[in-house]
Every structure is written in structure tokens, then in C-alpha cells.
Structure 1
């Protein structure tokens, strides 16, 4: 099965401290000028996305390797240049690689498409395009402290309307395939895996995601999780909920602050709280994570099979509860029955919506841990 996309790739190397002050290296690649030596549709907004990202990254202290409209050989040259920057001389604390251009997925592997690629059948992708998973594996070998991947996907018609050969039926599905984040890596998508992102909006010259993301990335004191949460909320608003950014990977890396200027000094570390072991304790911890807009912490209290899609996805929780003018507050909580907890709460969203709700939470025991199986809204929201 193949899915066509336009991909924005951001790879950033992180560490476990709240902010990084060491050597920073970035690679920015953007492909806009398709349609000359290939059958792909041009992406004019990419020509504006790239300089916006370069300016932001330089302001954040990155040494930037940049190139535009690259064929496969030049793409490979830039990747080798980046690899040298990561392995020779002073080891960077952070590397940030941005790609904007067409991409596609075949059989679970994602490909970034350089200019001049002639892909008239799916088997040619391996020769004509750049394998994203191989790029990530090469970066992992550099053993930089950590990595963030952001995929701004996806335009589902890279060939344009009738411009050239197109794959049909089961081979022509929208969206990048989800990638399990390697150790030390975050993957943030501009929209949910398997769904499409918009190339642009009327009277705007950048893609909806990059326009919000590069501006939010520059704000001082924000963790990467907060950057994505704010970006997600704004992108969903701008696109009428047609595009919903998403993040996955090691929760501990999501607290990284890329712009520490003006950030408050880090608080003294405190011992980690003991894990909740009772139904009421688990529900209390879950709603505390909602109040803090900490999706990664919240989903740890939910059964694994519900963390993949729907309202229990980490990025969905972070994005929604990160936009509260008054955070969620638990008003009352009590055991209703063995394995069931009744909770009453309220919150107010920045869009003006308020909630005073009551829910019944069902819990089960899995491998010695008490986890949330489902939440039934009884009143309110």
C-alpha cells in the first residue's frame, strides 16, 4: 500500500536538561520547484517555508546547512555534510533537520522525493527517492543526545490534477505511515498519520503548519511539548479541524526548551511521586495530567490499546488542554463501585467554551497496574 504526502521533516537532537546551550547544528532542505524534470506538482509555499525556518533556527543559535530544490545526489550531499557536522569536532548538543517537499509511503516505509524523481510505479521509489527511515537510522548512529522528527504531511496528489502517472486504488492513500520513534527521539507530525495536511490557505504564503510552528518555536521558555500543543491548537483553528498536529516518542524528551532566553530558572528537582495504585488514585493522577496539559503523563494511566487513536492520544490531550484559559479543576472524586470512579470537574477554553461536567471512569487491572478502560460522560462535557 502506498500513501502520497508532502512531507516536512524536522529532526532535532535534544538532551534531558530543560534547555540546551551547547553547539547546535541544523539542516534545512526545501523542494518547491517540481514539475520541470519530473511529473510532480510544484509546491510554491515551500519556497517561503524554508527561509522562515532558517531565520528562526539561526535566531535560536543554530549553525544552519541549507539548500533548496535538490535532486537525489544533492540531497545525499547535504545529509553527508550534516553527518560530518555531528561526528567531527565538537559533538553538538542539538541537531535540527528540516525537510519540506513531496513524500510518499509504500508498504510502511516513508520516502522523501527529490526534484527530478521519475516515479511511474511504486517499485521505483527506492531508487528515485530518499528513504526516511534510513535517514533516521543514520542520525541515530551519530549518537547525539536526542532527536525530534516533525513530519508536515501530507498532500495526497503529488502529480497534480492529471499532470502525469498516478497510482490508483489501494496504492493511492493519503498520509505518511506512522514511525515508531527510536530511542532518544521524538516524532511530531503536522497532522495525524494517515491524514492529509493543507499546502496553503488563501492570502497566506506559508503552509499552515510552518507558519504557526516557526513562530511558536521562537517563543522563549516553551517546552517542545508546549510548542506542539500551541501549534496544534492554532493549526486546527486555521484549518477548520481538518489538520491536527501530533507527537509521539519518549515523554521525557518533550520537556526540552529550545529557546531558554527569558525562561524562568529550573525548579529544584523533587522526588518522583509514587505511582497511583488505587482506582481513585489513578483517576486523580489522570485528571491532574489533563489539568497540566501533559498528554504523555495522562495516557500512562490508560490501557495501551486506546492510546493509538481517538481522544486518549497524547498529542490530542496536550493540544486541547494546553489551550485552556482556566485549566481543568477536579471538584469531586469518589469510588462509585469496585472498578468505577465518579469524578466532577470544570474548565474554560480560550475559545470561550466552558464545561461543568461529570463522568464515570471504568478501570481494569493489567499486569498488576490499575488502568483506565473507558470514560463515560454523564453530564456536561
Structure 2
């Protein structure tokens, strides 16, 4: 049985608070820090960094030949994908898992993403450092990680646990209008002109958000903390905005920015643009030679209905074989070109695989792994149809990054990048969205709709939210619902006026 001491000495409490753990427990025996078995990357050089950060927080850390003497351990691993803000920059997502030797599942898990052009081990070291020393979201994640460890081990011996004191105000994120990353003189600037501007964003807090105000006036929040107040601008010029968010324990955070001339004019121009919209919606779930999926047909039905309500003409097909799938794509391409549609969208839910750097949609009759390249339908076939049509906006949504149907469950952990989509460069005027990041997989989901599609169905119906903002909202939702296990990913080369699903 692991033993823990409880200390209320101020010096110890200070060090634990700095680590965002306020349960006051000091582990005895010490903790071992190791690279997770089977990790795809060599993170040996990151171990000393992590060990040093733990020692700064008064943990007793052992390594190497002494690791067997530890009473618990932290396993280190990471995955890589592309930075959501700039697909040309790599991103590492470091994962720390705390294990009690008596249990096969981790006691607590925390992740730290970091975009960097450095080598993987250097970027991972930086990610760990930011996790331990950063503020805001990093501090909240770190706090939850160590708090969970404290609750677990204290509960084993019924030791008292001190209550966590939240000292951080809510997180305020403005999605639209876009705000620059480096505001001058501490003030963020958006652009606006006479007329209405909808400020769209989200406020979150682990202690529950109590209220949000805009220039002193209460703002309505939905159950997820999303807000959409409308500001009426005049010709007097700049319009200062002050958002203040309060959590349930009294902490407050503030975000200031100024609406200045031009944004409303651009928004009005986008509203006046009349798009002719065509969508192809495909749902494959009734597979005969590989594991069937429960949600794709439901996903396709719901998506077809939603897109119809948004002004799309919809071509829908479900549980199609290779011939029917190719025929549907060809029909879509012909109609898109001949009838001069300005917006083309393809939504696919079902099995999707990658082979030799290429992505494939899996028809329902394919059974053998060797049939992938000859019997499945390449994603590039769809992109070629879209590019030839010369539409203003092309949208390709692939809720297809599910478990590789040709890999046995025992092999899935070692499937590496073969399990998810390859990286794709979108043609000009195109946004490609995957349900998860390149090289990763995602579950089919347990409800009526998949996790990704469920969120997408919600956000495409929100008025005055640009397409890029829609997918940022979806990414946030999915990451929260899956504890960061699934990270949606997009590649975009959209140009010209903003596209909005609903105005």
C-alpha cells in the first residue's frame, strides 16, 4: 500500500500551489518517469526536463536502475500533426499519464500541444515546460491533472484532501470578427462600419461561468458558453468593446478590443453574395467484409437535411458499393460544372484509409486489405471534380478517420500513420476538413450521430459564423468531448469573401 504524508507547512503548500496541486500531498515512495512503451518517437532526451520540473515541485523522482523502487510512475508519449493555425508548421502533442502500479488504467492524463519548427524532442521538451509553467488553459489542465492524482491516492488511505482554490478567471475567446494575435498597445482591433456587427465567441471556466457582460450589459450565454451579441454601429467611428466574464467563485477576466471602420462593409458585402450551392452526401456503414459502423447512415441523413435547410441542393447516397460511389461522384461533378454552381460540398461518413500517402473512401463490399488501392475510391477523384468545376468555394468534409477496418484490434496500437488520413494540400478555393488529425484515428461514436458530425450539425446552423470559425468551434467541442483524444484538422486555401453556411 502506497503511503502519503499530509503537510500544511506554508513552504510546502507554496510549492504545490505553484504546481497547481493544492491537495498538499507528498508522494512516498517516489515517482518514476519513463517513456511509454511502444512510443512512436524517441523522447529519452525529454525525461531529464520532466524530472527537473517535477523536482521543482517537490516530488521525489527516481530514474534508470532505481525506477523499480518507485511507488507510482508517469509515462511520457507524444503524437505529431500540423499546427491548426498554420499547416506548414508541425505540432507535437505531449501526453503524460500517471499510473498506480495496482491498476492497468491511468489515474490521470494531461496533454500539452506545442507548434514548433524544432525537432520533435526539442518541441516536446518545450511543451512539457509550458505545461508546468504556463498560465491560462495550461494552468487549468495542470491543476486538474495533479488534483486527480491527489484525489486518487488520498482516497486509498482516506487521507483528508484540501479543497482546490480556483484563482483564474474564465477564458474568453472571440471567434468573429477576427482579432489579430498582436494587438497594439494592449488593445485588440477589429474592423467595422455603420451597421450591425455580431460578436461571436465562447467563455469557459472549470468552476462554471456565472455571467458575461459587454460594456456593462449582460450577455446571453448558451449551455456551452457561446455568446452572439449584436452591436449597432454608427458613423461616429471607433467603437470600444469590453467583455468581462465572472466565474462561480468570483474570479473575473477581461478582454478589450475596438471595432473600427470597414468590417461591417465587408460583412454586408458577404451577405449580399448569392451562392448557388450543391452538396453530395455519402454515408457508408453497412459493410459486409469489415466491421460495420452504426452512425454513418444516420450522419448522412442528418447532414442532408441540415444542408437542404441551408440552401444546398443535395445528392445523397448510403451504403454504396464502388460502382455506385464513383457514379455519384461523377454525377456531382457534372452537375457542379454544367449548372454553374458557386459552392460545392462533399460530406462523407464511413471507413476511410490511407495507403502509400493517398487517402481512400471504402465502399461497403471491400473485404481484403490488398484490395484498397484497386477497389476503394481515391479522395483525389473528388478533388479533381471540384477543381474542374471552378466553383468559388469547395468544401470537403471527411468523417472517415475511424479505426482502419483492415487492421485487427491487436494491431491497431501499432498501425502508426496507416490508421488515419494522410496530409492533403487543398486546391485553391477549397477547405478540406477531417474528423481527426493526420496520422490519427477516431471512434465511430456511441450515440445516434458521430461526435464530429454531431458538433458540425450544430455549428453550421449558427448565423453569421464564417466557415473557418465553424470548424474551430467544432474542433473545440470534439476535443472537449473526447478528452483531447480526437483533434479535428483542416487544410484551407479559401480566397475572396468569407463563406457563411447561414446568414
TM-score per shorter chain, which class? Answer: 0.5 to 0.7
Maintained 8 Å contact 1:25/1:94: yes
Tell me the matched-pair count: 235
> For 1:306-333, what per-residue CA distance to the aligned partner results, in whole angstroms no more than 9, with x for missing partners?
xxxxxxxxxxxxxxxxxxxxxxxxxxxx
- Structure 1 stretches of 5 or more lacking a match? 1-15, 261-381
Separation in 1 of the partners of 2:419 and 2:368? 17
CA–CA separation in structure 2 for the residues paired with 1:83 and 1:104 = 23
Which of 452, 464, 485 pairs up with 1:221?
464
Question: Larger relative CO (CA 8 A, sep 6+): 1 or 2?
Answer: 1
**1:72 partnered with 2:322:** yes
Q: Aligned partners of 1:18, 1:181: CA distance in 2, in Å?
A: 23
Deviations 1:123-157 (A, max 9, x none): x3222100111221122111112312222242233
Shift of 1:168: 10
**In 2, Cα distance between equivalents of 1:24 and 1:86:** 9
d(CA) in 2 for partners of 1:223, 1:120:
39
**How much does 1:170 deviate?**
6.5
- Say if 1:186 and 1:253, in contact at 8 Å, map to a contact too: no
How far off is 1:216 after superposition?
A: 0.6
2:346 alignment partner, one of 97, 107, 110: 97
- 1:84 paired residue number: 334
Q: Classify the secondary structure of the residue corresponding to 1:173.
A: helix
- Aligned-residue offset at 1:30: 0.6
Partner of 1:191: 436
The 1:172–1:228 alpha-carbon spacing in structure 2 relative to 1, beyond 3 Å, is closer
TM-score (norm 1): 0.57
Is 1:131 equivalent to 2:378 in the alignment?
Answer: yes
Q: Hey, what does 1:209 align to over in structure 2?
A: 452
Q: Give the match for residue 352 of structure 1.
A: none
TM-fit CA distance, 1:55? 1.0
- Distance across 1 between alignment mates of 2:414 and 2:463: 46
Give how far 1:78 is off.
0.8
Q: Is residue 355 of structure 2 the alignment partner of residue 118 of structure 1? A: no
Match of 1:31 in 2: 284
Partners in 1 of 2:382 and 2:333 — Cα distance? 10
Q: Which residue of 1 aligns with 2:391?
A: 144
- Tell me the SS of whatever aligns to 1:18: helix
| Structure 1 vs Structure 2 CA RMSD | 2.5
Q: How does 1:337-376 map to 2 (within 5 A)?
A: none
TM-score normalised per structure 2? 0.44
Aligned-partner Cα distance in 2 for 1:70–1:120: 19
Contact 1:153 1:195 in 2 (8 A): no
Is the Cα–Cα contact under 8 Å of residues 348 and 400 in structure 2 kept in the other structure? no
Q: Distance in 2 between matches of 1:185 and 1:243?
A: 23
What is the rounded CA distance, in whole Å, between the counterparts of 1:231 and 1:207 in structure 2?
12
Q: Paired residue for 1:55?
A: 305
The answer (yes or no) to whether the contact 1:41–1:160 under 8 Å persists in 2 is no
The Cα of 1:84 is off from its aligned counterpart by: 2.1
Structure 1 counterpart SS, 2:341? coil
